[in-house]
């Protein structure tokens, strides 16, 4: 039977060679390669500053820390996201306040944001789910009207554009993840982007124990509280290698999406939230809303095809349980949402096979 994997990270010869160079240099900490990686990403994302960190979660936490958001403050997050978005808020000491999503785009609903604002609200974190832009125009307007900060969770949206700009450029900061399921990976890792120099300087302090600039010893005054969120030269070398195939990676994912869009057309039980590929949205993982989703997933598995069910709503997670909470769009969509295989290696024929299998499943049901 054909085996179709959902996703596999792709590591090439360049990564190996660049990592070997770092090993040979004997400087495996955060250093020149990390800085080169940051500069390269700033060019690619057309932003002023990039700070490399240990993960997307760290990027989100650091963004809250820069803004002095903590205990007593509220931060609005979508009910549909990877739990890291909410955990980062909890880590800051602030209270995450959940809001519903748009039923079509599956991203934070601006109306729901408005309804969740209280005098304690300090920030809102829209999430660009699967690489699809949240409604940044409306969310930014609401935030401005209420004096809220916008922090973008662009963990799934590296190189994706919305409203003519790279996602991550709308908020005070943009937070990216380079975990293994992303467009490029450094194993673990991420970056914070910003156009504000003061924010960048604070981020650099927060990522390195409150220090700014390289350590020269131990007996000196450290001006602020910080932690350790440094990305090493070794990880950055992997990232630099991955960037060599960036265009190819994006082209593969766009190609998969186009086949899905074409081949799933006409299947009544399937709805594609879709991507605005023409305007630069990068479909990291093609997602669909599927009737009888769990049975479909099992049928695909029986036919050698790996797919992934979306997260369960955050308000149903034990750590953030909100009994009586009412997020109807999220509750409905999370029962239906499925990520179809997006592995770089899939051929057009493979993607067609996935679509044919989906069609076959629903035809059998009829
Ligand atoms: C939407 C979202 N937010 C945050 C994260 C956290 O990133 P990381 O795993 O690098 O901490 C991820 C992915 O892992 C994610 O998909």
Q: Is the CB of 127 under 6 A from ligand 1?
A: yes
Sign of the C-alpha dihedral computed for residues 325, 330, 335 and 338 taken in this order? negative
Number of Cβ within 10 Å of residue 51's Cβ equals: 26
Mean pLDDT for the stretch of residues 131-141: 98
> Do residues 33 and 237 lie in contact, with contact meaning Cβ atoms separated by under 8 Å?
yes
Asked if 306 and 5 touch (Cβ cutoff 8 Å), the reply is: yes
H/E stretch holding 354 reads helix 348-365
Nearest atom in ligand 1 to 128's CA: 1
Whether residue 110 has pLDDT greater than 90:
yes
| pTM as predicted | 0.98
> Is the pLDDT reported for residue 219 higher than 90?
no
**Which residues, in sequence order, are bridge partners of residue 78?**
99
Q: Whose CA is nearest to atom 12 of ligand 1?
A: 155
Calpha distance 365→362 (Å, rounded): 5
Is 90 exceeded by the pLDDT of residue 214?
Answer: no
Per-residue pLDDT reduced to its tens digit, 64-96? 999 999 999 999 999 999 999 999 999 999 999
Q: Best mutation site among 131, 179, 192 for ligand 1, i.e. most ligand atoms within 8 A of its Cβ?
A: 179
- How does pLDDT run across 226-241, given as a tens digit for each residue? 999 999 999 999 999 9
Q: Specify the 3-state DSSP secondary structure of 230.
A: coil
Q: 185-211, pLDDT tens digit by residue?
A: 999 999 999 999 999 999 999 999 999
- CA distance linking residue 311 with residue 174, whole number of Å: 22
Q: What is the pLDDT of residue 185?
A: 98
| pLDDT tens-digit map of 28-69 | 999 999 999 999 999 999 999 999 999 999 999 999 999 999
Is a pLDDT exceeding 90 seen at residue 169?
yes
235 lines ligand 1 (CB under 6 A): no
Ligand 1 centre distance from Cα of residue 61 (Å)? 12
pLDDT score of 217 more than 80: no
What is the Å distance from ligand 1's center to 325 Cα?
24
- Ligand 1 centroid to residue 154 C-alpha, Å: 9
| Ordered structural domains, the chain, with CATH | 13-243 (3.40.640.10), 246-365 (3.90.1150.10)
Within its chain, how far is the Cα of 212 from the centroid? 28
């Amino acid at each position: 039977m054909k085996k179709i994997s959902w996703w596999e990270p792709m590591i090439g010869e360049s990564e190996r060679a660049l990592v070997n160079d770092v090993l040979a240099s004997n400087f495996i900490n955060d250093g020149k390669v990390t800085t080169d990686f940051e500069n390269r990403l700033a060019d690619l994302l057309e932003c002023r500053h990039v700070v490399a960190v240990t993960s997307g979660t760290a990027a989100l936490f650091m963004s809250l820390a820069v803004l002095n958001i903590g205990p007593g403050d509220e931060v609005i997050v979508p009910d549909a996201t990877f739990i890291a978005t909410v955990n980062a808020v909890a880590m800051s000491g602030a209270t995450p306040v959940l809001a519903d999503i748009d039923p079509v785009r599956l991203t934070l609903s601006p109306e729901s944001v408005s309804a969740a604002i209280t005098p304690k609200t300090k920030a809102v974190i829209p999430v660009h789910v699967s690489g699809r832009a949240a409604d940044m125009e409306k969310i930014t307007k609401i935030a401005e009207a209420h004096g809220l900060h916008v922090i973008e969770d662009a963990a799934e949206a590296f190189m994706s554009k919305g409203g003519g700009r790279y996602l991550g450029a709308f908020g005070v900061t943009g937070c990216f993840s380079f975990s293994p399921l992303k467009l490029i990976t450094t194993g673990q890792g991420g970056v914070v982007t910003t156009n504000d120099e003061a924010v960048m300087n604070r981020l650099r302090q927060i990522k390195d124990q409150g220090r700014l600039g390289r350590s020269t010893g131990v007996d000196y005054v450290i001006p602020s509280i910080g932690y350790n969120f440094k990305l090493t030269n070794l990880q950055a070398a992997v990232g630099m290698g991955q960037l060599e195939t960036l265009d190819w990676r994006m082209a593969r994912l766009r190609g998969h999406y186009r086949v899905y869009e074409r081949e799933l057309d006409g299947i009544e039980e399937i709805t594609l939230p879709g991507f605005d590929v023409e305007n630069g949205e990068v479909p990291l993982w093609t997602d669909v809303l599927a009737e009888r989703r769990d049975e479909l997933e099992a049928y695909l598995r029986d036919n050698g095809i790996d797919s992934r069910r979306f997260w369960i709503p955050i308000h149903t997670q034990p750590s953030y349980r909100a009994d009586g909470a009412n997020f109807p769009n999220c509750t409905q969509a999370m029962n239906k949402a499925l990520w179809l295989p997006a592995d770089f290696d899939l051929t057009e024929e493979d993607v067609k096979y996935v679509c044919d299998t989906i069609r076959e499943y629903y035809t059998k049901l009829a």
